Chain A
Amino acid sequence: MTNSPFTPGIAPARLPEEALARNFTDLHAPLDGHEALVAADRCYFCHDAPCITACPTDIDIPLFIRQIATGTPEAAAETIFDQNILGGMCARVCPTETLCEEACVREAAEGKPVEIGRLQRFATDTVMAKGVHPFERAPATGKTVAVVGAGPAGLACAHRLAMHGHSVTIFDARPKPGGLNEYGIASYKSVDNFAQAEVDWLLKIGGIEIKYGTALNGDVTMAALQADFDAVFLGMGLGGVNALRAEGETRDGVTDAVEFIADLRQADDLSTLPVGRNVVVIGGGMTAIDAAVQSKLLGAENVTVLYRRGRDAMPASAYEQDLAASKGVRFIFNAMPLEVLGNGAATALRCEYTKVEGRSVQGTGETFDIPADQVLKAIGQTLDGAPDGLKLDGGKIAVTGAGRTSLSGVWAGGDCASGGEDLTVTAVAEGRDAAEDIHMQISKA
């Protein structure tokens, strides 16, 4: 090893290979059989359970946990997949602390919810390890649907449509399926190439074809899709990134956090990934946390998350904040970037403290500099190149009901559509519900 956390600038291999391997293993180890039984036994089997209400995909959580407790994790998995075909990934990446586990009555009772996420993983892993796909495709209907984007929304939509017997073609701009599951999730949440394994397993339903490297508005047009298919579902996510609007944004060392995360996920050898000695991540969402934690795990000496509002307003959950803090990430709240300093490459970030009045954030005039040879922007993604003729709402595709857009025969879901939180699980719910609506519409015709 030639480098260390103290190597100046941006450099690869700051940690020995063993340390890197250790840092990027499963964040939460899977439960073994006995642990799962113990965890499952804590579920009270609540009446009209609050955890179900809190789950965007309405998984019958008490039922699947009871099925685990009685030694039938396969049945548990079917309960999960019935509502959420990406239940395996959601078990890994859902912010359960703000969803099902926050609603768990054990959280109210003792501050320790039933470990719903890990139990879900236990059940789904059991079935996926067997390579069994629990659903059968209905007889082919002859109807065809185009799905744009092989991310969570598109995959969930495609799977549900395929189950109903329709033929689905998914178009994705990237060379691999999975969307943010493949490119946007922290590595330690999806180890062992899980995202690809999950897609392979999902496709066993049959009736789904994926065309890679095929971007909307480029290789394929909206008009063509509308002409060639009985329905179109748009689930292409948010391809654009907000600009920092700070001076010096173009200096070397300033990059998008999503790009950093994607590079990390695609890397075969973590020791080839360069990371700064002093990393500053700007933003307050999950992307900011994922980028910050992984920078630290790659061996950055100092990693700082700069957020312009207070801790309470931070979109990333307290759990995620604590995770980052436990890895040695420093948080600076109520501060915004003014200028990336440096001569060619970034060396520091000039910041200004803020005060928040209602929705507006104003600088106080007090500034400070923090060393920064790498600045990762995680200040939100934007819809990139929405097809013409689609009504937008707040920069996203406007939808009503189960994902219906302003264009007849065109549905949308996931991050690119208005409404709902930008979560994998929300995207799955939207894709699934749109599929049911599409199924109803095209079956009528």
Chain B
Amino acid sequence: MADLTSDFIGIKSPNPFWLASAPPTDKEYNVRRAFEAGWGGVVWKTLGAEGLPVVNVNGPRYGAIYGADRRLLGLNNIELITDRDLYTNLEEIKRVKADYPDRAMIVSIMVPCEEEAWKAILPLVEDTGADGIELNFGCPHGMSERGMGAAVGQVPEYIEMVTRWCKQYYSKPVIVKLTPNITDIRKPAEAAKRGGADAVSLINTINSITSVNLDTMSPEPSIDGKGSHGGYCGPAVKPIAMSMVSEIARNAETHGLPISGIGGITTWRDAAEFMALGAGNVQVCTAAMTYGFKIVSEMISGLSQYLDEKGMSLDDLVGRAVPNVTDWQYLNLNYVTKARISQDDCIKCGRCYAACEDTSHQAISMSEDRVFEVIDAECVACNLCVNVCPVEGCITMEELAAGAMDERTGNVVSPDYANWTTHPNNPGAIKAAE
């Protein structure tokens, strides 16, 4: 059994699976249950400044997108930061941390963008004995209308400024949580780094409307006939989150900045993918909200089995795929593949044919008795047939060996690597060896 012990910016936890700052971590009761279930750490639901508690809506706060059999693929929410008293939260954090010293306890904070506000809350948090803080610069709804959350996260200068205050008034690690509701995720990450952040965590939720009720014409979740955009999360956002994580991991300015990966992580495999793309650990919310805390058991056993099978340590995994994330212009244009349909596996549904014939390159033939075959002279290797085929492994992409003829182009496949930067069709091509 692989050792999953995690050391993320000096914060130790028995495994790299933390619960993200969200409803599951809003109370002592929930967090104790999470730790009993085996979670390595939690980021406590965001605390606000001292004073009258935050108010939430009293109607539905979540909206959902479903796949087959009502499998929850995406969830959005319009819940705000904790609506419980600051001191109640602080006392609970202190108690739970004392009882679970081996688990990571991070406190998420969101107070107004004023130095005094941060100066006031940080000593209170320090006093709980928690292992670090996470700055909530990501919440896209409600709080952002009041100049907090994503409203800060969308302005790199604010991120840098607030991060600096935190490093000044707090002694332990500071994680900056980033909003994806921004054009270039590298900019806020760079700002966090300049401000002295120990790590960034991403992504927070994405602005979204999950559905519209076609009878009442209200967006969902509906509050008395009206809806407000909420924060989207769950398996559906994973590809977006992974791209953003990888951008920060491979960006020269932020390379090496520790990342806590968040966004639709549901299984050990999702976690491993995030970590391969540079996340030092991962945070989970929607999967726990969908299935309960017990899923961490599968995450632990799955990641452990994978590491054992690959003979890797947890540290070996982190960032392992980052060197393979590149720009389009550096992709090898001499890598030529063709779709191959396994007639033994084909169930003759014809979806590859419909997709290719109607929407792609007319590169699949269909016989009277429903035999589907690839026409190499037309196949551009787009992969759509692979993607729409309901049988895993039935259609595959086969690489043409160097020296083979690509029937589509009439060219012999070259053994050399060649990309767009040197392609003759590229007006800006760098002429080699001139």
Chain A contacts to B: CB under 8 angstroms: 34, 37-38, 41-42, 44-50, 105-106, 108-109
Complex Cα distance, B391 from A286, in Å, reads 35
Q: Is there a chain A Cβ closer than 8 Å to B390's Cβ?
A: yes
Choose one: A37, A44, A50; the contact of B351 (CB below 8 Å). A44
Complex Cα distance, B70 from A109, in Å, reads 23
**B351→A46 contact, CB < 8 A:** yes
**A47→B68 contact, CB < 8 A:** no
Cβ of B355 to closest chain A Cβ, rounded Å: 9
Chain A residues contacting B347 (CB-CB under 8 Å) are 105-106, 108-109
Complex Cα distance, B348 from A422, in Å, reads 29
**A47→B349 contact, CB < 8 A:** yes
Task: Assess A47 versus B69: contact at CB under 8 Å? Given A109-B390, A109-B391.
Answer: no
Complex Cα distance, B370 from A47, in Å, reads 10
Contact indicator per residue, chain B 338-359, by CB within 8 Å of chain A (1) or not (0): 0000000001111101100000
Complex Cα distance, B391 from A226, in Å, reads 57
**B69→A38 contact, CB < 8 A:** yes
Complex Cα distance, B69 from A42, in Å, reads 10
- CB contacts under 8 Å to A, within B349-398, are 349-351, 353-354, 366, 370, 390-391
Complex Cα distance, B347 from A106, in Å, reads 7
Cβ of A106 to closest chain B Cβ, rounded Å: 7
Among residues of A, the one whose C-beta sits closest to the C-beta of B370 is A50
Cβ of B368 to closest chain A Cβ, rounded Å: 10
Chain A residues contacting B69 (CB-CB under 8 Å) are 37-38, 41
Choose one: A37, A38, A45, A108; the contact of B348 (CB below 8 Å). A108
**A105→B349 contact, CB < 8 A:** yes
Complex Cα distance, B346 from A47, in Å, reads 14
Cβ of B102 to closest chain A Cβ, rounded Å: 43
Cβ of A60 to closest chain B Cβ, rounded Å: 15
Cβ of B358 to closest chain A Cβ, rounded Å: 9
Cβ of B19 to closest chain A Cβ, rounded Å: 30
**A44→B390 contact, CB < 8 A:** yes
Chain A residues contacting B390 (CB-CB under 8 Å) are 44, 109
Q: List 24 A-B contacts (CB under 8 A).
A: A34-B70, A37-B69, A41-B68, A42-B68, A44-B351, A44-B390, A45-B351, A46-B348, A46-B349, A46-B350, A47-B354, A47-B366, A48-B350, A48-B366, A48-B370, A49-B350, A50-B348, A50-B370, A105-B348, A105-B349, A108-B347, A108-B348, A109-B347, A109-B390
Complex Cα distance, B347 from A44, in Å, reads 11
Output the residue of B349, B350, B354, B391 with the most chain A CB within 10 A: B349
Complex Cα distance, B350 from A420, in Å, reads 28
Chain B residues contacting A106 (CB-CB under 8 Å) are 347
Complex Cα distance, B204 from A272, in Å, reads 71
Complex Cα distance, B350 from A47, in Å, reads 5
Complex Cα distance, B69 from A37, in Å, reads 7
Cβ of B101 to closest chain A Cβ, rounded Å: 46
Chain B contacts to A: CB under 8 angstroms: 68-70, 347-351, 353-354, 366, 370, 390-391
Chain A residues contacting B353 (CB-CB under 8 Å) are 47
Cβ of B348 to closest chain A Cβ, rounded Å: 6
Among residues of B, the one whose C-beta sits closest to the C-beta of A110 is B347
Among residues of A, the one whose C-beta sits closest to the C-beta of B67 is A41
**B391→A47 contact, CB < 8 A:** no
Chain A residues contacting B350 (CB-CB under 8 Å) are 46-49
Besides A47-B350, A49-B350, A108-B348, 19 new A-B residue pairs in contact (Cβ under 8 A), listed by A number: A34-B70, A38-B69, A41-B68, A41-B69, A42-B68, A44-B349, A44-B351, A46-B348, A46-B349, A46-B351, A47-B354, A47-B366, A48-B366, A48-B370, A105-B347, A105-B349, A108-B347, A109-B347, A109-B391
Chain B residues contacting A38 (CB-CB under 8 Å) are 68-69
Cβ of B139 to closest chain A Cβ, rounded Å: 33
Chain B residues contacting A37 (CB-CB under 8 Å) are 69-70
Chain B residues contacting A34 (CB-CB under 8 Å) are 70
Cβ of A74 to closest chain B Cβ, rounded Å: 15
Complex Cα distance, B390 from A106, in Å, reads 10
Complex Cα distance, B370 from A45, in Å, reads 15
Complex Cα distance, B149 from A234, in Å, reads 78
Chain B residues contacting A41 (CB-CB under 8 Å) are 68-69
Among residues of B, the one whose C-beta sits closest to the C-beta of A45 is B351
Complex Cα distance, B347 from A48, in Å, reads 13
Chain A residues contacting B349 (CB-CB under 8 Å) are 44, 46-47, 105
Q: Which 8 pairs, one residue from A and one from B, show the smallest C-beta to C-beta distance?
A: A47-B350, A47-B354, A41-B68, A105-B347, A109-B347, A46-B349, A105-B349, A108-B347
Complex Cα distance, B67 from A38, in Å, reads 10
Among residues of A, the one whose C-beta sits closest to the C-beta of B355 is A47
Complex Cα distance, B277 from A8, in Å, reads 79
Among residues of A, the one whose C-beta sits closest to the C-beta of B353 is A47
Chain B residues contacting A108 (CB-CB under 8 Å) are 347-348
Cβ of B136 to closest chain A Cβ, rounded Å: 38
Among residues of A, the one whose C-beta sits closest to the C-beta of B348 is A105
Cβ of A104 to closest chain B Cβ, rounded Å: 9
Cβ of B367 to closest chain A Cβ, rounded Å: 12
Complex Cα distance, B350 from A108, in Å, reads 13
Chain B residues contacting A42 (CB-CB under 8 Å) are 68
Among residues of A, the one whose C-beta sits closest to the C-beta of B357 is A47
Cβ of A111 to closest chain B Cβ, rounded Å: 11
Complex Cα distance, B354 from A38, in Å, reads 24
Complex Cα distance, B401 from A85, in Å, reads 57
Complex Cα distance, B353 from A23, in Å, reads 47
Complex Cα distance, B353 from A34, in Å, reads 31
Complex Cα distance, B349 from A42, in Å, reads 12
Among residues of B, the one whose C-beta sits closest to the C-beta of A41 is B68
Complex Cα distance, B354 from A34, in Å, reads 29
Complex Cα distance, B67 from A41, in Å, reads 9
Complex Cα distance, B371 from A50, in Å, reads 12
Output the residue of A37, A47, A48, A106 with the most chain B CB within 10 A: A47
Cβ of A44 to closest chain B Cβ, rounded Å: 5
Cβ of B143 to closest chain A Cβ, rounded Å: 36
Complex Cα distance, B199 from A317, in Å, reads 66
Complex Cα distance, B197 from A4, in Å, reads 84
Output the residue of A34, A38, A50, A105 with the most chain B CB within 10 A: A105
Chain B residues contacting A109 (CB-CB under 8 Å) are 347, 390-391
Among residues of B, the one whose C-beta sits closest to the C-beta of A43 is B349
Among residues of A, the one whose C-beta sits closest to the C-beta of B390 is A44
Complex Cα distance, B384 from A37, in Å, reads 26
Chain A residues contacting B370 (CB-CB under 8 Å) are 48, 50
Output the residue of A34, A37, A46, A50 with the most chain B CB within 10 A: A46
Complex Cα distance, B164 from A125, in Å, reads 67
Output the residue of A34, A37, A109 with the most chain B CB within 10 A: A109
Chain B residues contacting A105 (CB-CB under 8 Å) are 347-349
Among residues of B, the one whose C-beta sits closest to the C-beta of A38 is B69
Chain A residues contacting B68 (CB-CB under 8 Å) are 38, 41-42
Complex Cα distance, B348 from A332, in Å, reads 38
Chain B residues contacting A50 (CB-CB under 8 Å) are 348, 370
Cβ of B239 to closest chain A Cβ, rounded Å: 22
Cβ of B391 to closest chain A Cβ, rounded Å: 6
Complex Cα distance, B348 from A109, in Å, reads 9
Complex Cα distance, B348 from A106, in Å, reads 10
Complex Cα distance, B390 from A37, in Å, reads 18
Among residues of B, the one whose C-beta sits closest to the C-beta of A48 is B350
Output the residue of A34, A48, A106 with the most chain B CB within 10 A: A48
Cβ of B81 to closest chain A Cβ, rounded Å: 36
Complex Cα distance, B349 from A106, in Å, reads 9
Cβ of B341 to closest chain A Cβ, rounded Å: 14
Chain A residues contacting B348 (CB-CB under 8 Å) are 46, 50, 105, 108
Cβ of B237 to closest chain A Cβ, rounded Å: 22
Among residues of B, the one whose C-beta sits closest to the C-beta of A69 is B68
